[in-house]
Structure 1
Amino acid sequence: MERTILHTDLDAFFPAVVVLQNPQLKGKPLLVGGASERGVVSGASYEARRFGVQSGMPMRLARRLCPEATVVKGDYQAFDRYSKCVTNILTEKAPVVEKASIDEFYVDMTGMERFVGCVKWAKELKQTIIRETGLSVSWGLSVNKCVSKMAANANKPNGALHIAPGQVQPFLWSLDISRLPGIGEKMAHTLRCMGVTKLGTLAQIPRRLLERTFGKTGLFLWDRANGIDPTPVLPSHKQKSMSRELTFQTDTTDVTVLRATLSRMVETLAYDLRKQNFCAGKLTVKVRYSDFQTYTRQVTLPVTASDHTLTLAALKAFDTLYNRRVLVRLMGVSFGKLVRGTEQLSLFDAAGQVIPSKLPGLYQKTDRIRDRHGEDKIGRAHSYQLGI
């Protein structure tokens, strides 16, 4: 059966939420992110993007490109609230919804054409989101996730584009290779050096040649350029991972600060686990040095959402990982192998140490404080002493 997949993308989501809270900023260049010298742009309004500003760009460069832009730190609790509102609208109306990120969603509408026109349904859904949240949204509708995402991106902001099965290759083959999700600057440069600038050219290269040149990535490129993407739409409750990262304002080798930073990130992620009724069975620690060399260490552990177990595992992974004694630029941690459910706490932790009987109650109390006053209002003492 031919699939019908809808991709919805909230336009310039972070700046849009800021404008809803501060209407006087409407129509002005706006940058959301850290204002320090080491800050990164989390989101840029379309007025700022005209100057070449992009998400993920160093804030210092963004302000140089667009000096008249207003920089806002951003209210991440508000971002989460608006994202959940859109999630609720989608899950109430659609059979299978995947939340790909805070502002992107996939809907598997396969089979719905017999009961409701998919294009008509997508238009009505868009109007519901605008009416109930005030957010602008673009959508793409096509035969798979990749094509529907590219359709949405091709007609932003506030756009809508339906690519029928017979139009997939003509649509894709006219696009620049940089428009294909998964092709970064490095890969795009390599392909251009090979004389490949359009997806149509990439699609005509023999599949085996791309595999010999790029390995499995070559197979991925050929499939996507030809409109092939079997990736299923996974319901949000099958979320695969959670992660957090921090770029230091000043690169550091202070192990005390590094360990405290990692502990703080684990603690806030564990809170997210419990809030969403998840447990994690895998933990990954990431360290990026000042020369941009990046290393990771994975740990598999019994499924848990407990701070003490996850922090112990993360610190052990860090101690094994951090051996270069070079200045550290960034640290990150992610939880994987997520399973739905509440952990049954054992009397012993992973190291065989007795778990204090008051810990479960302590987690409940600290979680309630975070729910009421925000995640940054309570935490382990050593993190706060270091200003983390």
Structure 2
Amino acid sequence: MNRNILHLDLDTFFVSCERRLNSSLIGKPVIVGGTGDRGVVSAASYECRAFGVHSGMAMRMARQLCPQATYIRGNASVYTKFSKMVTEILQEQVPVLEKSSVDEFYADLTGMDRFFGCYRFAKELRTKIIKETGLPISFGLSVNKTVSKVATNEAKPDSQLKVDAGFEKIFLEPLSIKKIPMVGEKTFRRFCHLGVKKIGLVQQMPVEMMVSAFGKNGRTIWERANGIDRTPIIQYHERKSISSERTYGRDTTDLVKLKTTLRAMAENLAFQLRAGNKLTSCITVKVRYSDFQTYSKQLKIPYTAADHNLIPQVLELFEKLYQRRLLIRLVGVRYSGLTEGHYQIDLFENTNRTVNLYKAMDAIRLRYGDRSIMRAATLGEGSRTIGGQGNPFNGQPPIVLAHRHQ
């Protein structure tokens, strides 16, 4: 029995989420990413791609190529929320699901042809996702993951493509070798030096020649070029960590700015934990100096999702970590060892008032954005790019919370 592997990809996902929240962006060039001098493009709308802008490009270059675009820093919690919506739809509908990234999925539909028809089912599933989330999505359907992924990329934007069993080589033959997953810029340049640019030519090459030229990866590339891929679907499991990083526009030793950034990260990640009904048992703080040397420290803690437990631990780790007294380029915070659970009252420390305060704060954030309410200690230059983008109150300042748990 031939396998039926479905690959789904949310088109320009971050841009689509922003357009879902602000319809005035539809049809206009939009770029999402780090807006500082050192920022990179996370996502670019198709209108921007016509000017040569692509993900991974330096933001400074993107501004030169497409100055008329709308530039948005983005909001990780919003994108996670939309991704979760799509994930839940797929989990309800498909027998085996693999979530390979925040906007990319594989599903094994093998055996469904006898009951319904895999292509018809995939089309109806795509329609359901678009209707319920408002996000454009494309899919490819074939006998394996490689061909399905390539088919999705050929179907974009906002369309679908099926490659029938036995036609994998014919489908791949005219395409650029860059279309094969795992063929990056470096490998593509090596192919160009060999005079090879199309998949069809790789199909004609002896596998021994590929192994000689590219080592052990040569056989894998040759097999994928010939439409052969035995990679199984890895069933989706909940993530076990969340993290946030900040790269400064200018390296700094300003401890006020650094600690403000860390507080804002710790608070925002704690909100994400509570919003996802999660608790963490491990904190990691990372520091990258101006010479690109990177150091980190972690600490095991009792399960919690409370700001007033996490923020002091993050700052304490930073104090232990920051020993070189050099300019700092980047700081980061990660919560790992996640498990399902609600934040519980500690009989020796907390009161109902504290728990109710968190509930009220989170309700405001869920409705108006995760920067709509914050601690006074997280205000300032160091926190201006943490969490949500823009002002959810249309020019009104956020609610500032000052209480004894700092």
SS, match of residue 113 in structure 1 = helix
Q: Which residue of 2 is the match for residue 335 of structure 1?
A: 335
Deviates more, 1:136-145 or 1:171-180: 171-180
Partner of 2:390: none
Among the aligned pairs, what percent are the same residue? 44
Does 2:298 align with 1:299? yes
Structure 1 residue aligned with 2:254:
254
Structure 1 partner of 2:107: 107
CA-CA distance at 1:139 after TM superposition = 0.4
Instruction: Tell me the CA shift for residue 49 of structure 1.
Output: 0.3
Which sits farther off after the overlay, 86-95 or 119-128? 86-95
Give, in whole Å, the separation in 2 of the partners of 1:50 and 1:336: 40
The partner residue of 1:375 within 360, 370, 378 is: 370
For residues 41-95 of structure 1, the C-alpha deviation after alignment (integer angstroms, 9 at most, x for no partner) is 3321111101110123232211211233233455666655544443444334333
Q: Which residue identity does 1:381 align to in structure 2?
A: A
Matches of 2:86 and 2:78, distance apart in 1: 13
Mapped contact 1:108–1:233 kept (Cα < 8 A): no
2:52 equivalent in structure 1: 52
User: In structure 1, what is the equivalent of residue 265 of structure 2?
Assistant: 265
> Pairwise mapping of residues 134-213 of structure 1 onto structure 2 (< 5 A)?
134-168=134-168, 171=171, 175-186=175-186, 188-189=188-189, 200=202, 204-205=207-208
Give the superposition deviation at 1:281: 4.2
What does residue 90 of structure 1 align with?
90
Shift of 1:218: 7.5
Comparing 110-119 with 240-249, greater Cα deviation is found at 240-249
- Which amino acid in the other structure matches residue 304 of structure 1? Y
Contact 2:145 2:229 survives alignment (8 Å):
no
User: Which amino acid in 2 is paired with 1:305?
Assistant: T
Distance 1:244 1:75, change over 3 A: closer
Task: Please show how residues 52-71 of structure 1 align to structure 2 within 5 Å.
Answer: 52-71=52-71
Residue 379 (structure 2) aligned to one of 352, 359, 384: 384
The alignment partner of 2:243 has SS state of strand
Question: Where does residue 12 of structure 1 map in the other structure?
Answer: 12
Number of residue pairs matched by the alignment: 377
Residue by residue, what CA displacement relative to the aligned partner does 1:88-111 show, whole Å, maximum 9, x if unpaired?
Answer: 443343334444444323333233
Deviation at 1:268, TM superposition (A): 1.3
Check conservation: 1:273, 1:305, Cα contact below 8 A.
Answer: no
Give me the whole-angstrom Cα distance separating, in 2, the residues matched to 1:60 and 1:128. 38
- 1:164 and 1:283 mapped to 2: Cα distance? 48
In 2: Cα distance, 1:262 partner to 1:190 partner: 43
The corresponding residue for 1:228 is: 229
Paired with 2:313 and 2:170, the residues of 1 have a C-alpha distance of: 50
Alpha-carbon separation, structure 1, partners of 2:32 and 2:67: 14
Give the secondary structure class of the aligned counterpart of 1:259: helix
> Is the 1:140–1:150 contact (alpha carbons within 8 Å) kept by the matching residues of 2?
yes
Q: Which moved more, 1:280-289 or 1:186-195?
A: 186-195
Alignment deviations for residues 185-221 of structure 1 (CA, whole Å, 9 cap, x no partner): 445446656777566379935797689x58xx78876
Q: Which residue identity does 1:116 align to in structure 2? A: F
Deviates most, 138-147 or 322-331: 322-331
Residues 283-298 of structure 1: pairs in structure 2 closer than 5 A = 283-290=283-290, 293=292, 295=294, 297=296
Instruction: Find the aligned partners of 2:280 and 2:222 in 1 and give their Cα distance.
Output: 34
- CA, structure 1 residues 108+355, in 2 after alignment: closer, same or farther (shift >3 Å)? farther
| Cα separation, 2, equivalents of 1:60 and 1:281 | 39
Q: What's 1:366 paired with?
A: 361
Runs of at least 5 residues in structure 1 that lack an aligned partner in the other structure: 348-353
3-state DSSP class of the match of 1:280? Answer: strand
1: CA distance between counterparts of 2:180 and 2:344?
A: 44
Structure 2 counterpart SS, 1:166? coil
TM-score, with structure 1 as normaliser = 0.77
TM-score, normalised via structure 2 length: 0.74
Structure 2, unaligned runs of 5 or more:
384-406
Deviation at 1:330, TM superposition (A): 3.0
Letter in 1 for 2:207: Q
CA contact (8 A) 1:210 1:222 kept: no
What corresponds to 1:350 in structure 2?
none
* TM-aligned CA deviation for residue 119 of structure 1: 0.8
